[in-house]
Each structure stands twice: as C-alpha cells, then as structure tokens.
Structure 1
C-alpha cells in the first residue's frame, strides 16, 4: 500500500497540486499502518523499556508534531537511557569502594579512593564494560 502511495505521489504530483492538504494527509495516514512493525516494537519492549519509550516518543513526535521533534524526543530518551545505565554502575562502584573502605580497609585513604574513581571514570569514557550489575 505504501509503495503505491509513493509511486502515485511521484507520478501524479502536478494533478495533486490543487488537492487539499487534508486529503493528502489522509493518504499518508492510510499508508502509515504498513510502515509500522508491531512485532519489532514488542521485541523492543521485551528487551528494554526505555528504548521502547524512545521508539514510541519518536513515533508520536513525528505523527503529531514534526520529524525534528520526533528525532529530538528519541535522542533525548536514548541519552537518558545511556546516562541512567552509566550512573547506576557509577553509584554501585562508589558503594563498593565505600564498603571496602569501611569494612576491610579502615586505613584506606581518600587519595586512593579518588584514584580509583578517576580510573573508573576513564574506563567508562573509553568504553570499557563492567559486569558489576550482573
């Protein structure tokens, strides 16, 4: 269906010039269900809820506002997802260092903790993955 709409819009542009925009919008909306893959959206939902939020936000942003706003919503949600994962790992790492400091090494100085924090931040910036949450 969507291929027919694209071909007709390409070939019949001059004839459709005087067609009201509401009719053109209805043509686009009638082709829209063929462009949506419900099964893939369900798989995204099962894998990561925040990625699904980015997908749905982009979809509704494009449908109801503009392509730029839909893209902005998707990028913002994806950045929020990335920052959430990074800060969860960072908080876990800081908690782990605090437990080492308090329980097993009471003389462990703050200088070494700051050194470990800087090493961890550098590893995160370089893209090194930690399996601390698994």
Structure 2
C-alpha cells in the first residue's frame, strides 16, 4: 500500500519531500482550525449563557429558530443509597462486574489480547 497520495496520470511523481510538505500543511491547517474551533466554542458558550439567563425552561421561537432551554438532572445514587440501603431494598441493586478486580487478577496480556475492544484510530496533534 502506497503512503503517497494518488495523482492523475499526467502529474509528476510525488516525492517523499512533496509528501512530507503536504502532511506538514495538513498539520498546520489542523492547528489553525483548532484555534478557530476553540474561539467559536467559547463564543457559543457565552451566547448560550446569556440565553439561559434570559429564558425560562421551555421552547422559545426567536429569529426563525427554536431556542430550547432545559434543566437536565441525573439520579443522585449516593442519596438513594443512603435512604434505601441494600440490606433493606435488595431489589434496587444489581451485581456488576468489578473491572478493577479483573485488571488486578488477570494477566495484562490476556486482557489486551482477548478482552479489550479496540475503537477506531484517533489522531491527536499537539
């Protein structure tokens, strides 16, 4: 498998230097996009903070868009555990695999070879 980009038949052969320059350009472009993305994300956070202070929970029509304000919540498991102990309410609890115990008791090579689900490759540029 070639690591050089495909070129039209009438194009000159891509050299390793050309390939390196092209890859460097991609890295620089990614860095510029990351900076722009950070600025956009910060501005969107500021806008949403203003909207959150101005609107009550619900859906609001504004500028041809629907602004949806929510106040999400999640179960406070510690509070439930305090009020409903496992001894008195076993139906609220379930046994679960202790992944820390698995890592402590199985060989790392076995875990890596047989019990590790691999995701897609990721690229981080620093």
TM-score in terms of structure 2 length: 0.33
Greater share of strand: 2
- Larger relative contact order (Cα-Cα within 8 Å, sequence gap ≥ 6): 1
Return the index of the structure with the highest Cα Rg: 2
Greater share of helix: 1
TM-score in terms of structure 1 length: 0.31
